[in-house]
Amino acid sequence: MKELGKRLSSGVVGILLLIYVVSKGGFYLSSSIFIISLIGLNEFYRAMLNINLKPYTYIGFLVTIFIYISNLYPSFSIDLVITVLIIVLLVYLLFKEDASLDNLGITLLGVLYVPFLLFHVSYLDGSIYIWLIFIIAFGTDTFAYLAGNFFGKRKLCPKISPKKTIEGSIGGILGSLILTVIYSLYIGNNTMWKLMILSVLVSIISQMGDLVGSRIKRMTGIKDFGKIMPGHGGIIDRFDSIILAAPVIYYFVRYFL
């Protein structure tokens, strides 16, 4: 009961901060994502140490700074940042005798997994669709939890996340769909059917993001990525579904809406 109280209180505080930051947008949103990315990337790199991988953290953090700068100043393109990152890693491999392909690869994966994907949230800054990232991802998580508790019987991925059920997964999809329809009616959008398709797609993707986080934790032998959010764990524990949901919503909006 005490753990549930901590989870609820930290969740409420987190949601209020989220609403404030997304509403303000601009520098506030980009800077918040930057801080979250640094913490999340550090969590990821620390987890890798448990399986004898040693990512070059300073390269990852430096690239995250450049991704942040490219977000503030679009003329400094993200393509340039990623290209420079790949060249730097390859040059590092060339001149550093003790450089490891495994460590170079996990350094690159960490950057792509956390800051690169997470910064897609800010690409929707100022758009009414930015709220769908959180409505669908958090809605899926909440309704999946409730449906799983009340109706869950058949395991979804027992080897990765034993508590998740097929019934919970379906409940998460339906719950996020209902929330998306309500939001579509609220904003008076005339492409509700597209948003409904988006909701189902992103709900599935966000659940996959959750499972990816669980898979990494099992592979590295950790319970949580961190303890920054009482009752929720670390940044990746809380944002693993957002990490995959944000780019899907961004590109769907860009090409279909």
Query: In the listed set 125, 141, 157, which residue is the last one of a domain according to the structure?
Result: 125
Last residue of a domain, one of 72, 96, 125: 125
Statement to judge: residues 139 and 119 lie in one domain? no
- Per the structure, the complete domain to which residue 232 belongs is given by 1-23+126-257
Domain count, the chain: 2
The pTM (predicted TM-score) of the whole model is 0.92
Q: What does the pLDDT average to over 33-61? A: 97
pLDDT tens, residue by residue, 147-196: 999 998 899 998 899 889 999 999 999 999 999 999 999 998 778 999 99
Residues 137 and 230 in one domain: yes
In a shared domain, residues 249 and 153: yes
pLDDT digits (tens, 9 = 90+) for 232-248: 689 999 999 999 999 99
Tell me the C-alpha to C-alpha distance, in Å, between residue 206 and each of 49, 161, 239: 26, 14, 10
Of the residues 109, 125, 141, the one at which a domain ends: 125
